[in-house]
Amino acid sequence: MSVTIDREISIDDLELVKLLQSRNSEFLPHIKEVYEKVKNILEQRIPHIFPNYTLHNIGHSLRIIKNMSSIVDDINQLDELEIAILILSALLHDVGMAVSEEDIKLIKNDNFPYFDIKYSAVVKTIEDEELALQEYVRMFHSSLSAKYIQEELKGKFDIPRLSLNFTKELALICESHTKGFDWITSNLTVNELKGDYKFNSQFLACVLRLADILDIDSNRTPFNLYQLISPTGISKEEWDQHFIISNNQKIKKDPKTGLKTIYFTGQCENPHTHRKILTYIDWVAYEITNCTQLANTMSSQYNLLYDTTPEVQIQAIGYTFSDYKMKLDYKAISALLMGEKIYGDKSLGLRELIQNSIDSCRIRQEIVNENLQIGAEKYVPKIKIIINEAQNEVTIKDNGTGMSLEIIKKHFLNIGVSYYTSKDFKLRDLAYKPIGNFGIGFLSCFMLSDEVKVITRYYKSSDRYLINLEKNNEYTSLTKAEDHSLDGTEIILNYKNFINVFENNSAKVVAFMNKFFLTDDIQVELYDNSNVPILISNNLKTVTVPDGLIKIDLSNYLKDIEGYALIKKKRDYVSSINHIDFKGTLYQYSCDGIKIVQDTSAIDIDNFIINSELKYYNIPIVRTAMENDFLSILKYNDLEDTIDKLERDLEWISVIVPNNLDLDFKDFEFANIGDYLYDNLGYENLIELGHSNNCKTYATYEKVNLFEGKTNELYLPFQSVILSKNTFYYRRYEEKRKELYVRNVLINNFRYEAPTQAKIFDIEMIMVNLNSRKFVPDISRNNFDYPTSLDINYIIGKAIHLGAFHNLGLEDDKKLTLKKFIQSYYCEKSEFEI
């Protein structure tokens, strides 16, 4: 089925073209030649690559030219060359979308040499090769248009009778239509001369971008074409938003004020589409505001006199729509995000700043060293903390990537908009995955200092930026200068504010740094009012293993997770009852009562195990000699507390119960004659064993988990832990170091607890660094959510048990038992397991 698109516009009928005709312009032949050359490209090649996108055909270009004459206040004041460039830019700004088959092949092979982003990274994100190609080309089409102009149209843009041309300037103007306004002011001029002709590139760029975004109505998405293509996904939404706009002319002028207004009329039957069009119109308002502000700095002939708020008259059909928007209060949000309410401790502001430096350095390290020339020195990441009391400053300095103006404006100054989660960064497809995720971490610097200076230079640029920030004030100053000496970023804090957080003790800053960061392959130094550096060292990859301990290298079992565990062989397997460490003298219960076990070797342990559990009771016996002490303590404490206080002074018995009796186990208090736990196991039975008849006592139910290897011969003792959600919201401080890091930064409140652990070894130390992007800490970066914590404990627990299997030097039967244990309790294979 063929589609015919009616073109109501002819290039010769356009006002700008007529104006050149009236001036007998020598640029007209060039314009006609370019028009004929690009017409087929725009009509045939772009739809071939972008079958579901809105029209970027020659009709779109002609409507842009038409819009241009309405946007400019007085086109008669424009120079002849300026008019020619406007027309040519409208014809050529999208030509980069028509990439050749040769370029497509290079793009798909990740060999396209012009951009950092790889096609394969786009495919990973979109998971559709056709859409990925379209997105790749769309992202860079303005730069490809500029490339096409300079390479394929050489000689088309000469100045008559002079050996001059405006090819480069035209290419930059076309490229500018997808760039920011800072790019325009940095790369384009306002007063360019070419022979007798002059032109204002910045103004022409503004006119092009406004004329382009105003081409949004049914002319661009004819209904029959919309139905025929049946676009889906992103392109369908884009078609929808174009289709509801009904007015072709979108600029009107107030005869009294002389101000022009952009206006949109139409109707909509879908609230989602309605919201999307309002978002588009917000973008139009942003563009108008910036274009008019830029034009206000120019001479009067370049005036753009506009009411910067577009007029919107879109009728909602079948639903009620409000243009109210949710708003955020800067002071309220910043107070929430920059304080102890999230982080819990002001000192963690330093963690956030150093973490930013680590991310920046690691990214630069990967980029630079990946493209290292032969003989060139490798990049070494460096971070310095400089404490200077005399100047009342503390400086955190790194030699990382630094920030470009675009990153500063789009991400750094935009709370909650993390650069590292942006499409711009993700599509670089770097191996290193930064820990920064929420875009709020820098706000924590205000826990350390009321005033902050940021000095930064992007490593590919010569431009240095100084940013001044103040707590509780949303306004900043931004100063630009050229400076090749600065390498990376410096954060300058108030010394008095900073040191007060660390109790006026710089040694605590050193201790903090040594605790919270891994420093493998990164040089971290602290200068404490001296030029003598204090080396911060906390290495994961180099460790001295003490005698008697065994190192488990987790990288042998896991990918994207590095680190180690030090374990110590604890106890042997259980093959008889005497291998169990009972607290007291061992008794056996039967229906006739309890009897002391004289010969443990005569006990068949299998007769006491139910569902991998050997259950028993611990009962304290209070003899007459302890009666007074017991009663005096009991007077002010409950029974369990009293027993705890006198635990070492009391005599204990441990009672095992055969599994054939099928009895329930429970904690039980013996207080009076007639209190019976089971038949013939009561208060009076304990009195017969020497317990004081004036004192209460308490039977505590205990169990030992035993995994069966060989029936009646070999059991592996183990412990299972049911982890509650509350388990993960405090840190258990103990002598044994068990630390978890994410991309080199400590997760302070995480607690390692294997869901099931064999008790044939003890874990003396764990140091783990998670490099995978899957593991995202909570907003405080002190912990993970509950499901993630469970996953991490399971993954690490399994790796440690696999390491124990290979390194404990077990006999064959015992090794086989441990293998079966791992298969039973760690049967699931995670994506991180090798």
Instruction: Give the pLDDT mean for 547-557.
Output: 96
The pLDDT tens digits for 470-511 are 988 888 899 988 888 888 999 999 999 999 999 999 999 999
Q: Does the structure show a pLDDT above 70 at 732?
A: no
- pLDDT tens digits for 101-132? 888 999 899 888 888 888 898 888 888 888 88
CA 373 to chain centre: 31
Instruction: Select from 705, 729, 762 the last residue of a domain.
Output: 705
Q: Angle 348-370/506-516 helices, nearest 10 degrees?
A: 50
Name beta bridge partners: 385: 396, 526
Residues pairing with 479 in the sheet: 466
> Does 733 share its domain with 614?
no
Residue 562 is assigned to a structural domain of this protein = yes
Give the integer Cα–Cα distance in Å for 436 and 742: 10
Q: What is the pLDDT of residue 238?
A: 65
Q: What percent of the chain has pLDDT over 90?
A: 64
472 and 348 in a common domain: yes
Averaged pLDDT for residues 612-639: 95
pLDDT at 6: 40
Where is the domain boundary, 163, 186, 215?
215
DSSP β-bridge partners for residue 397: 384, 490
CA pair distance 370, 368, nearest whole angstrom: 5
**How many separate domains does the chain show?**
4
Q: Is 584 in the same domain as 564?
A: no
Axis-axis angle for helices 201-213, 271-295 (nearest 10): 160
pLDDT digits (tens, 9 = 90+) for 273-331: 788 888 888 999 999 999 999 999 999 999 999 999 999 998 888 888 777 777 767 77
| Structural domain includes residue 224 | no
Give the model's confidence band at 226: pLDDT under 50 very low, under 70 low, under 90 confident, else very high. Answer: very low
pLDDT of residue 338: 67
* Mean pLDDT computed over 643-658: 96
Amino acid at 430: L
pLDDT tier for residue 724 given thresholds of 50, 70 and 90? low
- 8 Å CB contact between 644 and 633: no
2: confidence class by pLDDT, cuts 50, 70, 90: very low
**Mean pLDDT in residue range 367-392:** 91
Vertex 464: Cα angle to 518 and 447 (nearest 5): 50
Give the pLDDT band of residue 85 (cuts 50, 70, 90): very high
Tokens matching residue 631: 């009663």
Taking the whole predicted model, whether its pTM rises above 0.85 is answered as no
Question: SS3 sequence, 10-53?
Answer: CHHHCHHHHHHHHCCCCCHHHHHHHHHHHHHHHHHHHHHHCCCC
* C-alpha torsion 571→574→577→579, nearest 10: -20
Is residue 149 classed as helix, strand or coil in its secondary structure? helix
DSSP letters for 328-342 = --HHHHHHHHSSHHH
Give the domain CATH number at 426.
3.30.565.10
pLDDT score of 46: 79
pLDDT at 233: 63
Q: Is 90 exposed, middle or buried (0-12, 13-18, 19+ CB in 10 A)?
A: buried
Specify the amino acid at residue 550. I
Residue 238 lies in a domain: no
- Cβ pair 173, 85 in contact under 8 A: yes
Tens digits of residue pLDDT in 235-259: 666 656 666 788 888 999 998 888 9
> How many Å apart are CA 262 and CA 310, to the nearest integer?
5
Residue 775 included in any domain:
yes
Mean pLDDT of 789-811: 96
Residue 382 belongs to a domain: yes
Q: Is residue 658 part of a domain?
A: yes
Q: Who's near 462: CB < 8 A, 6+ residues apart?
A: 482, 483, 484
Tell me the per-residue pLDDT of 404-446, one tens digit each, with 9 for 90 and over: 998 998 888 888 788 888 888 888 888 888 887 666 778 889 9
Q: What is the mean pLDDT of residues 439-456?
A: 89
- 500 and 593 housed in the same domain: no
User: Residue 212 burial by CB count (10 A; 0-12/13-18/19+): exposed, middle or buried?
Assistant: buried
Residue 684: phi and psi, rounded to 5, are: -70, -30
Claim to verify: residue 83 and residue 140 sit in the same structural domain: yes
Q: Give me the DSSP letters along 510-579.
A: HHHHHHHB--TT-EEEEEESSSSEEEP---SS-----TT-EEEEGGGTBSSEEEEEEEEE----B-SGGG
Q: What does the DSSP assignment read for 340-372?
A: HHHHSSTTHHHHHHHHHHHHHHHHHHHHHHHTP
Q: Are residues 808 and 782 in the same domain?
A: yes
Q: Which of 179, 198, 215 is the last residue of a domain?
A: 215
Question: pLDDT at position 220, please?
Answer: 54
Q: Is the pLDDT of residue 52 over 60?
A: yes
Tokens found for residue 313: 């008259």
- The answer on 610 and 520 residing in a single domain is no
* Residue 439 counted as domain residue: yes
pLDDT at position 728 is 42
Residues with Cβ within 8 Å of 585's Cβ and at least 6 positions away in sequence, in order, are 596, 651, 652, 653, 654
- pLDDT value for 128: 84
Please give the Cα distance from 582 to 577 (Å, whole number): 10
pLDDT band at 727 (very low <50, low <70, confident <90, very high): very low
Helix (H) or strand (E) holding 243: helix 233-243
- pLDDT score of 634 more than 90: yes
58-71 vs 15-22: helix axis angle to the nearest 10?
Answer: 70
Residues 526 and 439 in one domain: yes
Q: What's the CA angle centered on 757, arms 752 and 762, to 5 degrees?
A: 80
Going across the sheet that includes 745-746, the strands are 550-553, 561-569, 761-770, 737-742, 745-746
The CA distance from 18 to 283, in Å, is 32
- Collapsing DSSP to helix, strand or coil, 831 comes out as coil
Verify that 566 and 581 share a domain, yes or no. no
Looking at the structure, do residues 483 and 559 belong to the same domain, yes or no? Answer: no
Terminal C-alpha separation, the chain: 53
What's the confidence (pLDDT) of residue 308?
A: 92
Place of tokens 């409140």: 749
> 128-169, pLDDT tens digit by residue?
888 888 888 888 999 999 999 999 998 889 998 888 999 999
Task: Please check whether residues 450 and 568 belong to one and the same domain.
Answer: no
DSSP state of 727: G
Q: How far is CA 181 from the centre of its chain?
A: 27
Structure tokens at 605: 């342990």
Helix (H, G, I), strand (E, B) or coil at 460: coil
Amino acid at 130: E
Residue range 765-791, pLDDT digits in tens: 999 999 998 898 988 889 999 999 999
Q: Strand 550-553 to strand 533-535: parallel, antiparallel, or no bridges (unpaired)?
A: unpaired
Whether 317 is in a domain gets the answer no
Mean pLDDT of 172-183: 95
* Beta partners for residue 703, in sequence order: 615
Task: Identify which of 125, 127, 133 has the alpha carbon closest to the alpha carbon of residue 106.
Answer: 133
In this predicted structure, what is the pLDDT of residue 329?
Answer: 74
DSSP state of 421: G
108 and 147, same domain (yes or no): yes
The CA–CA distances, whole Å, from 586 to 102, 288, 595, 651, 690 equal 84, 88, 9, 12, 15
Would you say 5 and 57 are in contact if contact means Cβ atoms under 8 Å apart?
Answer: yes
Which structural domain range is residue 764 located in? Answer: 550-572+717-825
User: What is the average per-residue pLDDT within 730-751?
Assistant: 79
Query: In sequence order, what DSSP letters do the residues of 52-79 get, joined into one string?
Result: TSPP-SHHHHHHHHHHHHHHSS-GGGS-
